[in-house]
Amino acid sequence: MRNMCLLLSYDGTDFHGWQFQPNLRTAEGTLKDALARILGERPKLYAAARTDQGVHAKTQVVNFATERGIPVEGLIRGLNSLLPADIRVLRGGEVPSEFHARYSAKSKTYRYFILTSPLNSPFLRRYTLHVPQGLHVEGMQRAIQAIVGVHDFSAFTKKSTSYRNPVRRVLSAKVKGRGEIIVMEIRAEGFLRYMVRNIVGTLLLVGKGKIDEEGFKAILESRDRDMAGPTAPPHGLFLWDIEYEPSLLFPPYRLGV
Amino acid sequence: MRNMCLLLSYDGTDFHGWQFQPNLRTAEGTLKDALARILGERPKLYAAARTDQGVHAKTQVVNFATERGIPVEGLIRGLNSLLPADIRVLRGGEVPSEFHARYSAKSKTYRYFILTSPLNSPFLRRYTLHVPQGLHVEGMQRAIQAIVGVHDFSAFTKKSTSYRNPVRRVLSAKVKGRGEIIVMEIRAEGFLRYMVRNIVGTLLLVGKGKIDEEGFKAILESRDRDMAGPTAPPHGLFLWDIEYEPSLLFPPYRLGV
């Protein structure tokens, strides 16, 4: 069996998320249909992350096992000719048998984009959350530092989800203002469901001056979802990059940007 | 009567162009419907340019006459709450009675965006033409200079359209490469139908090495549409900016970027 890896990019707007669901247009289902037409079999796909409905992927990584000896270049070209324009296979290759898109990932990076212009932009509306007011970026920059390190993120997970282990290690967290665009970036070894969107929703309370840096920290430490802000909508969120041990990467490619 | 002016932005993807057509979703029709709900009348609209189906407008300017004494801020807010997300009213104001969005314009600027990465981007596909090959940007830069000045643009108009006067003055023309994006910008006192898209389609022949700078100039001088390249598709094209005499602008706004 060959272990094949694909690097994808998709616009989440018109997908019901990554994960296959019968009778719904999902990114996984769309990719599987295309793979089935080329390989003559429907391989089980392992993805680095299951993006929720409406969330985009600048980078998504999947792997699957196949007996088919199809050359990688032909596979990528064939997939892109079959796939709709909102999902593209950027790269691919054979990887060591122990490679697993999710379990081999050392870290994942998400970015969330906010547009603060008075009016929403017809051109950015699918990829940014529109917040038509000035946000206090420095306050958000200070507050977000509280999540760096190992923490119980129960306050920021999906309500009514219970994790056996809600502890995750966040490697870096940044807020950058670039004109009318604010970008939040969180890199972590793992994420809970809705974790980024709940952190963003709570950081927005800081940006609007409704809570301060200490208040943000207190919410994290409370481990109580009811203390945190609302879940930010999905369309500003991008699964941005995924990091692996270099020895697991398929030469001559590097995954990510 | 008050002469009112509005500055708009729209994503042309889902509009059948600017101009009203019964039973089709057009930008003009959409704006008129919203105006009618606020004003209680359907004013005749004068637009700076009639963008074709699929063409975007970073800046479109319209004016209309009304007896209604509605404050401008309320009008803009009301319109944006009624309009769909792919069209926004950015600014507005009362202008002198002699102002006409089209006839008062000193010049209009169009930009055309090309993405030259090997694969199309799920995120830029609505706003750029994908040309998956390297283009010779310097050759295109030299060739485009031929259109600057006063010329008969019959070679670059819509086939089977006859203009009483196919002569137009082009004020500036540029091609810029920014990484994988190539931007062409043409500023002119007036444009013929399909003029920008036909110039772009012919410049692409230069970029691909099929004709040279001299060949491009010969096509312009031939005044024969059959000599020129194919019409470039609409989705890379933006009506970008419109210039008026400062005395006609509504203070404290400046139109455009």
Q: Global pTM?
A: 0.86
- Alpha-carbon distance B50 to B82, whole Å? 22
- What pLDDT shows up at residue A158? 86
- What pLDDT shows up at residue A160? 75
pLDDT digit string (tens) for B89-105? 999 988 888 899 999 99
Looking at per-residue confidence, does A33 or A256 come out higher? A33
The answer to whether B156 touches B140, Cβ cutoff 8 Å, is no
- Across the interface, do B125 and A10 touch by the CB < 8 Å criterion? no
Q: How many CB atoms lie within 10 A of CB A254?
A: 13
Chain A residues with CB under 8 Å of B80 CB are: 119
> Does B122 contact chain A (CB < 8 Å)?
yes
- Across the interface, do B85 and A125 touch by the CB < 8 Å criterion? yes
CA-based nearest residue to A230, from A184, A209, A199, A256: A199
pLDDT digit string (tens) for A140-181? 999 999 999 999 999 999 877 778 899 999 999 999 998 899
Q: For B185-191, what is the mean pLDDT?
A: 97
pLDDT digit string (tens) for B37-59? 999 999 999 999 999 999 999 99
For residue A241, give the H/E element and its range: strand A237-243
> Does A86 contact chain B (CB < 8 Å)?
yes
Does A52 qualify as catalytic in the annotation? yes
The answer to whether B162 touches B153, Cβ cutoff 8 Å, is no
- Does B189 score more than 80 pLDDT? yes
pLDDT digit string (tens) for A25-58? 999 999 999 999 999 999 999 999 999 999 999 9
- Does B182 score more than 90 pLDDT? yes
- What pLDDT shows up at residue A161? 74
- Across the interface, do A119 and B11 touch by the CB < 8 Å criterion? no
- Does A254 score more than 60 pLDDT? no
